[in-house]
């Protein structure tokens, strides 16, 4: 398998290499199967992406879909729409989830009062319980979170698969396509999330009520996605 992972991070971001290690571990693939590209150096074309077997769009510590303050926002939105048009296997994590929603016409807002940091209980919706990827999960499971922005409206025709107490939209699938995305981080375990919060503490300040717990069920999502992507 050849898997492309798109990152959206400054070269100085301490989580640039950390994120790579987390995706390698969470996908369960050999190191040489994953290829990383930082969109700060340019967004790939749809032909470049579809030369791989699947693509994952990772998170970001510095950028917000709400602000759209980087030159990569417009081209990556176009890329995501193109991938939807050709039903190419794709998975968006956190920032990737928000990018996909924004690109397809949904709404993302900045909402610090409903931010989620740490290990949070999430629950499958009825659509999630029927989904070929998420139906393998228990009705309620723990997921690793780290976001201040959240979706308030999904694109037309896109079902919501998972919800949490503070964030109603936690996962989606493009119907009829092997394209999923989550607001939470299926690539992180509790230590990975702890590392990330410590690295960003200068930006976020002291994290009140933060709790890091194991999330074994969420860690099955990316390997299962890749199984489905290969079948597609």
pLDDT digits (tens, 9 = 90+) for 114-171: 889 899 999 999 999 999 999 999 999 999 999 989 999 999 999 999 999 999 999 9
> Where do the domains of the chain lie?
3-231
**What six digits make up the tokens of 206?**
């002291």
Local confidence band at 206 (pLDDT 50, 70, 90 cut-offs): low
pLDDT tens figures, 23-62 = 999 999 999 999 999 999 999 999 999 999 999 999 998 8
Q: Which CATH class is domain 3-231?
A: alpha beta
Cα separation, 88 vs 117, whole angstroms: 31
Q: Is 162 helix (H, G, I), strand (E, B) or coil?
A: strand
19 contacts: CB under 8 Å, gap ≥ 6: 7, 9, 58, 59, 187
pTM here is 0.96
Nearest to 5 by CA among 232, 225, 170, 228: 225
């Amino acid at each position: 398998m050849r898997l492309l992972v798109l990152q959206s991070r400054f070269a100085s971001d301490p989580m640039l290499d950390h994120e790579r290690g987390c995706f390698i571990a969470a996908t369960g693939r050999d190191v040489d199967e994953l290829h990383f590209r930082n969109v700060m150096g340019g967004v790939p074309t749809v032909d470049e992406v579809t030369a791989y077997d699947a693509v994952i769009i990772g998170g970001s510590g510095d950028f917000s879909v709400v602000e759209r303050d980087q030159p990569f926002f417009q081209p990556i939105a176009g890329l995501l729409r193109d991938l939807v048009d050709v039903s190419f296997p794709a998975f968006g994590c956190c920032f990737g989830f928000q990018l996909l929603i924004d690109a397809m016409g949904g709404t993302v807002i900045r909402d610090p009062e409903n931010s989620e940091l740490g290990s949070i209980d999430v629950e499958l919706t009825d659509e999630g319980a029927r989904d070929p990827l998420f139906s393998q999960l228990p009705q309620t499971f723990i997921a690793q979170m780290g976001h201040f922005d959240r979706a308030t409206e999904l694109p037309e025709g896109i079902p919501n698969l998972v919800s949490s107490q503070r964030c109603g939209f936690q996962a989606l699938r493009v119907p009829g396509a092997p394209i999923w995305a989550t607001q939470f981080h299926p690539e992180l375990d509790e230590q990975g999330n702890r590392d990330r919060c410590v690295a960003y503490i200068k930006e976020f300040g002291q994290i009140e009520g933060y709790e890091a717990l194991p999330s074994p069920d969420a860690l099955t999502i990316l390997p299962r996605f890749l199984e489905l992507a290969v079948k597609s």
